[in-house]
Every structure is written in structure tokens, then in C-alpha cells.
Amino acid sequence: MFSGKTEELIRRVRRALYARKRVQVFKHALETRSDPEEIRSHAGPRAYAVAVSSSAELLSLVEPETDIVAVEETQFFDAGIVRALQGLADAGYEVIATGLDQNFRGEPFGPMADLLVLAEEVVKLRAICVRCGRDASRTQRLIDGKPAPASSPTILVGAAEHYEARCRLHHEVG
């Protein structure tokens, strides 16, 4: 979190639109921090998006004339998203998928590990550790200001009220 993933996705979508590409942006319906019909970065930029609940729903909404399919918060999707996005890429669509590669425990998050292996390009953005200022590769979940226990549910939608960016050294699991 806080590394600029959504901002980068929006930048790529805007560039594609300037190039007169046909773009569809999807997000998982679990992402409720912004309007259901948009993605929004912590820094403010926004873009139109369609909220979907599953990889099957996403596939059913992809239009044949689309050039680029962009997916936000890919870690929330079911395992079928891997096959869905690979199928779209194989069919000639350009696919851009963003998401957290690790959950708050520092473990692979949902389908992301499989997507990383299959991707032609992987861009890992880093946030800044709130403790020391180094590059942060982890998401620290907090409950009442303390590290969340490992037994906490994997998915808790939120932002700064529940999460901090941390480096490996300062990341803790309660």
C-alpha cells in the first residue's frame, strides 16, 4: 500500500486513451474506499472503472473492440483471474493488473504469485517505511496502533486507518 500502484495504473490508462486505444478498467467489488464506478489513488487521481465480484463476471464484460484490459486490486479476485487474464493476453488484449503481492503477514496474496510468474513485465513499486524512511515492501496492518495478529482475516479493506508501509526490518505480525 501507498506505493503508487493505482496512480501508475491511472497514468497508463490515460496514456492509452491519448493514443486512442480502447480501454476497460475493472476493480474488485470488495474495494469500497472509492465510488463503485471509479478507482482513486491516495494522491487523488481518479479513473472510471467497473466493479466486479469475480473473474467470470470480468470476462463476461470485456468487449471485443477493447485494446487494453486494466484490473485494479487483483489480489482480491478468485484463482480464476489467472486463467482469465492469461486468456485475454493470449487473445491479443493488452492486460495491466495491479495489486499487492503480499498480505499483511508477508505471504503471497491470493492469485498474485501466479500472475507474477506469467507476466511479461513486472513493475514492483515501493512505498516509504513510516518507521525509518527506507523502501517499504510490506503492508503493516494495525489494530489500535499495534500489529494485527496473524489470525486476523486476510482481507480488511482500508487505508491509513488500518495500514502502514513498512520495510522488512520494521514489519511485524502480532
- 109-151 tens-digit pLDDT: 999 999 999 999 999 999 999 999 999 999 999 999 999 999 9
* Set 73, 120, 121, 164: catalytic member: 73
Give CATH 3.30.60.20 domain extents, the chain.
127-166
Give the C-alpha separation, 139 to 133, whole Å.
14
Contact assessment for residue 157 and residue 33, using Cβ atoms and an 8 Å cutoff: yes
Tell me 65's DSSP state: T
Amino acid at 62: V
pLDDT in tens, 3-50: 999 999 999 999 999 999 999 999 999 987 777 788 887 666 788 999
Instruction: Compute the radius of gyration of the chain from its Cα atoms.
Output: 16
pTM, entire model: 0.92
pLDDT of residue 67: 98
Determine the CATH number of domain 127-166: 3.30.60.20
pLDDT of residue 50: 97
For this structure, is 121 an active site residue? no
Give the C-alpha separation, 15 to 146, whole Å.
40
pLDDT of residue 156: 86
C-alpha cell at 62: 470485456
pLDDT of residue 99: 96
C-alpha cell at 63: 468487449
* pLDDT tier for residue 161 given thresholds of 50, 70 and 90: confident
pLDDT of residue 157: 81
Determine the CATH number of domain 5-118: 3.40.50.300
Which residues lie below 8 Å from residue 150, measured CB to CB, with a gap of 6+? 105, 173, 174
